[in-house]
Every structure is written in C-alpha cells, then in structure tokens.
Amino acid sequence: MKRPVIYLKIINKKDKEVRMVKSGKKMKVYSILQAEKFKDCVFFLKVVYSYRPYYVNQGEYFTKKSLIYALRAFTDLDLVKEFCEK
C-alpha cells in the first residue's frame, strides 16, 4: 500500500517566517510539532493520497491541537486504504 504524502506549511504571524515540511511519515510531522513552541501561527495541512486520480484533503488551522486532530483524521487507516489503492 502506498503512503499518502503530507505537506505542512507553518507561518508565524509576527515575523512572517515560513517553515515547510513534506513527508510520507506522520511521525516526522509529529516530531516537528512537538519539538517547537508555536505562538501566533497558522498551519496549512495538505494530505495527497494519489495524483491520478487526484485525491486530497487539506485545511487551514490556527491551533496545534486542531492541526493534530486533522492530521489523525486525514491519515486514518481506512481512509488511506480507500484512496491510496485506487
């Protein structure tokens, strides 16, 4: 089974600093979120399951808690199996 590709963009509202992460592993994204303290940030999350046909889930989040909840929902095993196998 193919893994979905996870894109995460973190924008700090104060300094307009941008950090981007692209990974096929959830743990890499979790470790980045756990290692740093994010204040006044906007998180853009995009999970691509396949490119042909194009299946994607994406969203904009303002808290780390809502971002982690969305990441868990977007990478749910049943959802990944359904869209990555097509």
Question: 28 with 21: CB under 8 angstroms?
Answer: yes
Cis peptide before 4 (omega within 30 of 0): no
Q: Please, what is the average pLDDT of the chain? A: 87
**How do strand 5-12 and strand 54-61 relate by DSSP bridges?**
unpaired
Residue 15: predicted pLDDT: 75
Question: What are the structural domain ranges in the chain?
Answer: 5-84
> Model-level pTM?
0.85
Q: What is the 3-state secondary structure (H, E, C) of 17-53?
A: CEEEEEECCHHHHHHHHHHCCCCCEEEEEEEEEEECC
The lowest-confidence range among 11-15, 55-59, 69-73 is 11-15
**pLDDT, mean of residues 71-82:** 87
